[in-house]
Structure 1
Amino acid sequence: MKILVVCQHYWPEPYPLPDLCEELVRRGHSVDLITDVPNYPMGITYPEYRHGARRREVHNGVRITRTFTIARRHNAVFRLLNYYSYAWSSSQYARHLREDYDVVFTNQTSPVMMSSAAFAYARRHGKKVVMYCMDLWPACLAAGGLGESSPVYRFFDRESRRLYNQPDRILITSRMFRAYLVERHGVDDGKIAYLPQYAAARFDALPPPASGKQTVDLMFAGNVGAAQSLTTVLEAAALLRDQPQLRWHIVGDGSELAHLQKLAAEKQLDCVIFHGRKPPEEMPRYYAMADAMLVTLTADPFISLTLPGKVQTYMAAGKPILAAAAGEIPQVLAAARCGWCAKAENAADLAQKVRQFLACPDKAQLGRNARAYYEAHFTRDRFMDTLERELAACAGPTHSDKGCCKI
């Protein structure tokens, strides 16, 4: 198949899509990508992409075109400019593409407008669009504190409804997304299929934590933003000062990193270690040092609908998981029997769950359970086989022998 991919974020930004696109190339497909000028997550254009540099490049077989993007910085006005500069420039580019693609795939996170170019090309050329929905809009805005009665929220609610009804197929990362799309935006339920994320990193040879070490190392890895509610982790660390063996590691960066570093200093939490963002190839080394992994989310009811990709990655690494979240995450952890989940934004409850973990006589079994659940539900091959079938079904009769699979 000849596939056009649309997504605002891509390599070298810390984002999982490259592994997916490169695997499609390895499977014999042609992949062209329309994406942004890299500036995520810190909101500053990467130096090597400034002044119009590297607007077209090929990376591991994927042909990349980068369209005009205003860096998001850490400012509401610039974030809005970032959203619409890419949506507008990518749509303009897509409308004038003469290439004949078999199908369009859009990987949708925030904002939903990032998918606009997919629909612009599809309308012009009579092609079908498969959307991979990883975030819900405008629910993300409500989670950020924007009231549902505000004019801005109502505008994006209308915009989201319009955009979510354009794909021919919507693949969702969390089962809970289905009701929101159908009830809030009137999306045809028959268009929707569940396809959870997989772990892009490979952990088949991940060594266990060093035996005989004196510390118990708990680790969060990923974007450090408001939705992740990492203040809950710091507050739990403060409540567990009586456990001097605990070390809390935060690997990643984002809009909340400076605030968290300041908070840790104010609370004199020497047990909290900030490692910053690390390249994907280094992450297995960090996972190897961890006794358990952390995942936290805000108590927002819409954020609770999500199943962050880090959960699958933690499971692939064969690590116990300690969480503070509602919705999909506690259901998955309970089914996998691989850890404990506290109430969202409840540091005291998270501290109690950490105490339960410390008292667990067979922590290694929790890790084995996590890996087993990953292999049963979240493997890369399972994901790619299903995605390939979905794309083929929308590409037309010459490619649809693989069928369309709803799971």
Structure 2
Amino acid sequence: NGEADLKVLIAGDGKGLAAVRSLVAELRLAGAQIRPPVPLDELPALLARGDIHLVCQQPGTEGLLVPSKIYSTLAAGRPSLFVGPADCEVGRIVCESGSGFVVEPGDVGRAADVLGRLAAGAALRRGMGRNARAYYERHFGRDRSVRRIVAILESAADGRAVGKGRAFGGGFG
């Protein structure tokens, strides 16, 4: 039918697992694999297997949390499809980094279009993956994180506030 062959791998056991299983059945994704979470030492290999990573955030949670998967996806150098509010931290990261696409929750047509483009575009995926890794290194890499931790500790010793009003995650970004 001209469509790219997508394989779906879902790893995790969160509270939404039953809904995910129902959706997989409803969409008749016969090749979809649902597996339990992997040990932390196996996570890099699992992330490297994925050509496209899905990151989701429930509307109403922006400003309260940042899904940590965005940092793992950036570190793995993989493109992401973020389904969530465009005006939140993850939406900003994805747009600013050029590492993927942002789709508002409920916009199934756009999500399908984006997945089709990513699945069919190996060069697009590679470019977005390079952007992801470069952004991670600039903003969340080890050197940056160590400097950030030192600044936080020094400010605590001096009684100053550092990073007030910004979510921390993925290496104290």
TM value normalised by structure 1: 0.36
Q: In structure 2, how many angstroms separate the alpha carbons of the residues matched to 1:266 and 1:405?
A: 48
Larger RCO (alpha carbons 8 Å, 6+ apart): 2
1:347 aligns to 2:105 (yes or no): no
Q: Bigger radius of gyration, 1 or 2?
A: 1
Change (3 A) 1:249 1:388: same
Corresponding residue number in structure 2 for 1:246:
6
Which of 293, 297, 322 is the aligned partner of 2:53? 293
Q: In 2, are the aligned partners of 1:323 and 1:350 still within 8 Å (CA)? A: no
1:319 aligns to 2:78 (yes or no): yes
Change (3 A) 1:380 1:404: farther
Q: In structure 1, how many angstroms separate the alpha carbons of the residues matched to 2:109 and 2:30?
A: 19
Which of 39, 62, 72 is the aligned partner of 1:304? 62
Q: In 1, are the aligned partners of 2:138 and 2:144 still within 8 Å (CA)? A: no
Change (3 A) 1:354 1:244: closer
Query: CA offsets, 1:168-219, max 9 Å, x none?
Result: xxxxxxxxxxxxxxxxxxxxxxxxxxxxxxxxxxxxxxxxxxxxxxxxxxxx
Change (3 A) 1:404 1:387: farther
Q: Residue type of the partner of 1:355?
A: G
Instruction: Report the alpha carbon displacement of residue 262 of structure 1 after superposing the two structures with TM.
Output: 3.3
Instruction: Report the alpha carbon displacement of residue 337 of structure 1 after superposing the two structures with TM.
Output: 0.9
Corresponding residue number in structure 1 for 2:146:
384
Q: In structure 2, how many angstroms separate the alpha carbons of the residues matched to 1:286 and 1:382?
A: 25
SS state at 1:247 partner: coil
Q: In 2, are the aligned partners of 1:389 and 1:404 still within 8 Å (CA)? A: no
C-alpha root-mean-square deviation of aligned residues, in Å?
2.5
Percent identical residues: 28
Unaligned runs of 5+ in 1: 1-240
Change (3 A) 1:361 1:292: closer
Structure with greater proportional helix content: 2
Q: In structure 2, how many angstroms separate the alpha carbons of the residues matched to 1:334 and 1:244?
A: 25
Corresponding residue number in structure 1 for 2:127:
365
SS state at 1:250 partner: strand
Q: In structure 2, how many angstroms separate the alpha carbons of the residues matched to 1:336 and 1:316?
A: 12
Corresponding residue number in structure 1 for 2:30:
270
Instruction: Report the alpha carbon displacement of residue 265 of structure 1 after superposing the two structures with TM.
Output: 2.6
Instruction: Report the alpha carbon displacement of residue 266 of structure 1 after superposing the two structures with TM.
Output: 4.2
Unaligned runs of 5+ in 2: 164-172
Q: In 1, are the aligned partners of 2:12 and 2:35 still within 8 Å (CA)? A: yes
Instruction: Report the alpha carbon displacement of residue 340 of structure 1 after superposing the two structures with TM.
Output: 1.2
Query: CA offsets, 1:216-270, max 9 Å, x none?
Result: xxxxxxxxxxxxxxxxxxxxxxxxx974610111111111212322332344321
Change (3 A) 1:259 1:314: same
Q: In 1, are the aligned partners of 2:80 and 2:101 still within 8 Å (CA)? A: yes
Instruction: Report the alpha carbon displacement of residue 271 of structure 1 after superposing the two structures with TM.
Output: 3.0
Q: In structure 2, how many angstroms separate the alpha carbons of the residues matched to 1:273 and 1:244?
A: 18
Change (3 A) 1:393 1:361: closer
Instruction: Report the alpha carbon displacement of residue 285 of structure 1 after superposing the two structures with TM.
Output: 1.6
Q: In structure 2, how many angstroms separate the alpha carbons of the residues matched to 1:364 and 1:284?
A: 17
Query: CA offsets, 1:380-402, max 9 Å, x none?
Result: 33223322332333235xxx8xx
